[in-house]
Structure formats: structure tokens, C-alpha cells
Amino acid sequence: MIERFDWTDHAERRIREREFHRINVEMAIRLRHDGRSRNDGPADWLVLGQRMAGASFVVIYDHPVGEDPDRVRIVSVWDLEERGTS
């Protein structure tokens, strides 16, 4: 079970710029980790989440971090409509 979330500086900057709530991003990973997709870019995994207003977003992350299966490293977050930007 995922218990720890490490945020890269990039991911922290993105949630501030895009007005995301950390808890929504972390919850998306917790709820959708078992159905995650392999990411082709700078992180291992990709899941979709949903903002409180209903818009979908993408979060990419690494798991495990080192040898810790309870930890993820969030690399970036963006609205699904932004396709291709991170």
C-alpha cells in the first residue's frame, strides 16, 4: 500500500501553477495504482485523476522509490486537455 509521497520540485511547481490540490493527486495514485499504465517519458507510471470540478488530469510518477514499495515519487501533473505538456 502506498503510504509516502515524494514530490519533485517540478511537480510542486506544476500543482501551484495549475491550482491542483495535493490530496486529489495523491488520492488518484492510491485509488488507481493497480490499474496504472506504463509511461513512455520521464517517469515509470501514469494514472488519470479527476479534479473536484470534474475535469480529468494526468499524473506521472515513479514506483517504487529505491526499494520502498510504500513510496512514490510524483514527477508531474497536468490537465488532460493539455496533452503532451508536462
Where do the domains of the chain lie? 4-82
**Taking Cα atoms as reference points, which of 48, 43, 37 lies closest to residue 60?**
43
Q: What share of the chain is helix, strand, coil (3-state, %, to 5)?
A: 30, 35, 35
For residue range 9-67, list pLDDT tens digits in order: 999 999 999 999 999 999 999 999 999 999 999 999 999 999 988 899 999 999 999 99
What are 34's strand-pairing partners?
none
pTM: 0.91
Q: Is the pLDDT of residue 85 over 80?
A: no
User: Which of the four pLDDT bands, split at 50, 70 and 90, describes residue 83?
Assistant: low
pLDDT reported for residue 84: 55
Fold type of domain 4-82: YaeB-like fold (3.30.2310)
